[in-house]
Each structure stands twice: as C-alpha cells, then as structure tokens.
C-alpha cells in the first residue's frame, strides 16, 4: 500500500450508516490514526442517527446539509467547517435537490476494513495498524421532534 494514491484510483464506496432516504457515495482513505473521506450526499439524503468514538471534522465543498444532534442542529453550507464531538449522536439531511459534497476527517479512523474500496496509505516498511479504528453505531432515537424544533427556527 502506498503513501500516495491518485484520485482516479480511489473507487467509490457507499454509505455504511442506515438511511431514511437518498444515497451517499464516498471515497475513503485511512492511516493508523485517522481517515479522510470525500462524501457526496445526493439530494434527499437523510441518514439515521448514529455515533462513533472518534472526533469528526468536516468541510462542505459544495451544496448544503442540515446537521442534527440530540439537542439541536444547524445548516452547513459551501465553505463551512463543522465538528462532531466524539460520541455525539448525530445525523444529516440534504433537503435540497442538488448534491452536497463534504470532506470528512475522523480520528481515530472509523471502520476502514468494513468499507468497500477503502485504501490504506502506508509505506511498504510501515506497520499496518488500524487496531484503534472505531465502529459507527446506529442509535434508536425519534428524530422528528428535534428536526421540527431546529427547522422551525429558520
């Protein structure tokens, strides 16, 4: 596995979180301590609530997405950065008809072994260690009231 991979060689994967609606395609690379994912959420994408024991930093490169937490949420638009704290229950909803593209970094990495087409970026002499990778964990939560409260404020 190389330290560099060309964009054309990173094949699309798909969402591993459960969805209410829509689709998400991903390009996913990882190292021992973190992963980087470019995720394109189609119009109408709406994930179910989940959490993971990693911090997540995001940058919206195109479009917009509503990001929800147990206690609220916000609209993230092109050029915005946002953070999902470690262990926070969260989900997203692209309420537009256009795609939303987000660059996401998780530390530690989230489930690289369970993702189709994920690529580890390791030197040939480097130990390939992803033992601290964490899982996405689905959470049973009634999201409608939270979404209504947040969206009603706009």
- pLDDT tens sequence across 77-100: 999 999 999 999 999 999 999 999
Q: Does domain 7-152 have CATH number 2.60.120.10?
A: yes
The C-alpha angle 41, 46, 52, rounded to 5 degrees, equals 85
* Percentage of the chain lying above the pLDDT 70 cut: 94
What mean pLDDT is reported for the chain? 90
Give the residue among 111, 70, 63 at the shortest CA–CA distance from 89: 70
Rg (CA), the chain: 16
Which one has a higher pLDDT value, 129 or 57?
57
Which one has a higher pLDDT value, 143 or 116?
143
Q: How far apart are CA 19 and CA 112, in angstroms?
A: 19
Q: How far apart are CA 93 and CA 98, in angstroms?
A: 12
pTM: 0.91
């Amino acid at each position: 596995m190389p330290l560099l991979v060309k964009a054309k060689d990173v094949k699309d994967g798909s969402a591993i979180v459960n969805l209410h609606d829509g689709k998400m395609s991903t390009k996913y690379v990882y190292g021992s301590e973190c992963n980087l994912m470019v995720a394109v959420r189609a119009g109408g994408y709406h994930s179910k609530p989940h959490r993971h024991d990693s911090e997540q930093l995001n940058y919206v490169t195109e479009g917009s997405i509503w990001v929800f937490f147990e206690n609220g949420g916000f609209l993230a638009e092109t050029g915005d950065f946002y953070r999902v704290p470690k262990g926070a229950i969260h989900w997203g909803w692209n309420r537009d008809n256009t795609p939303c593209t987000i660059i996401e970094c998780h530390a530690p990495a989230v489930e690289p072994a369970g993702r189709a087409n994920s690529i580890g970026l390791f030197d040939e002499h480097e130990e390939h260690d992803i033992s601290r990778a964490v899982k996405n964990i689905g959470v049973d939560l009634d999201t409608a009231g939270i979404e209504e409260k947040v969206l009603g404020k706009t």
